[in-house]
Chains A and B, each alone.
Chain A
């Protein structure tokens, strides 16, 4: 699609929205973050103005924002990547491939920190907010929490039927919430792996979990089409929001803790985009309801409190600012 077409599309989308509208953000030129090779996926750091792009030439490219300057390129070889995470502090980047090999590099130097061999391809690969821990799990297997610098094992969580499909650390990295294959949301001590609380009210597998900024509550969502607020200490449901038309597949709380991005899954065809709704954490009022024009390759909050969504573009990545 040409830049002119994208601009026209942006104009149509912007015009169609009555609420505060997303806009193409301009880190460099017309919202295009220029990258040396076509981008397959992109992740933003949370506390540093950096992002990492996985490109089709089998490289992880660490980029500075907003100028898009390439800081480091890491060659990951001829591997079929199924999982990617960039630590929120921007210090480490991890990939997991179909063979179950997980590799972790230092983002600044490109030095390989460690590798871990899983029994199957990874279902979980998530850094803690401080970048000190990495949660990994082969599909269907228990989650292991590792020291993200050395790979040393810290704790192993329980072994739910069907494994873990969603995982989030609290901001202080003391707690881990999991959405498990047996449809249970569990809260664990991240240092010991001990299960502290559980919520068994879901009928379907929880696909998204997130902590509130203070770590006191867990937000969880599944094919049940509810976002449920769970007391992290007891596991009890404290609030269940109105049923939605589609399942929520991702939840992301803003750095200031005041807003939450709920990303919906088009359940009849997961290859197509569905709505992204930005809500107030306090009132649950919608602040923005946006249907992306195509399937985004990335989305997330940046260090300065912007909510960005990225799409592939001919010259690199096009960024939209939603908040």
Chain B
């Protein structure tokens, strides 16, 4: 994954490209000092989605949910957990659960279920497969329950822009699944070709509200 530029890198780049010019008496050091004192931009909270009937607590902390030989398009999901002030939340707990390639949930064990912990930068990630279509739902989805001390718990669901239900136009067709009340939850899918075969990469940032 490409690492985002630091604020310092961005400022240097802006200066090099002429997007940033300095008034007389102002040095780059002044600009950096000013920049470092700025608070991160406020972020809107991630839209809510209902928890559904198949949440199971005490899932294992496993970053790869896919076992060798599992059917389905390999999927890599990465993202970061922030609060609405834009500050990363280290240690946020991210519980995920999804259907398998055939659209079935494992109720008896913990297949395609995990409990992850955000790192120092609030980053999380897991490997899985693209979930199948559960018959009682319109769209493929992955359930999330995100909790962190001092923040309001978030239940939401991740959807995929490549879902056939959207007919190539999620912005227009996301309401085909009545549970999707915000197109923000429908994320772009990047297809990656590697020696191991095709893989779908998705980024899903999570923003929690402070209590």
Residues on A facing B (Cβ under 8 Å): 80, 98, 120, 123, 139-140, 161-163, 165, 181-183, 203-205, 207, 223-225, 247, 249, 265, 267-272
Contact = CB atoms under 8 A, between A and B. Distances in A.
28 contacts: A80-B178, A123-B50, A139-B50, A140-B155, A161-B153, A161-B155, A162-B51, A162-B145, A162-B153, A163-B51, A165-B51, A181-B155, A182-B57, A203-B56, A203-B57, A204-B56, A204-B57, A204-B107, A205-B51, A205-B55, A224-B107, A247-B53, A247-B107, A249-B53, A265-B53, A268-B103, A271-B135, A271-B136
Given A161-B145, A268-B135, A270-B135, A205 B53 contact: yes
Interface residues of B, number: 21
A120 B135 CA distance: 24
Contacts of B51: 140, 162-163, 165, 181, 205
A100 B147 CA distance: 25
Nearest to A98: B178
**Residue from B50, B104, B135 having most chain A Cβ neighbours under 10 A:** B50
Interface of B: 48, 50-51, 53-58, 103-105, 107-108, 135-136, 145, 147, 153, 155, 178
A205 B54 contact: yes
A223 B108 CA distance: 8
A225 B135 CA distance: 20
Interface SS majority for chain A: loop
Contact of B136 (A139, A162, A225, A270): A270
Given A162-B55, A183-B57, A247-B53, 7 more contacts: A80-B178, A140-B50, A181-B155, A183-B55, A204-B56, A225-B107, A270-B136
Nearest to A180: B51
Given A98-B178, A203-B58, A247-B107, A165 B53 contact: yes
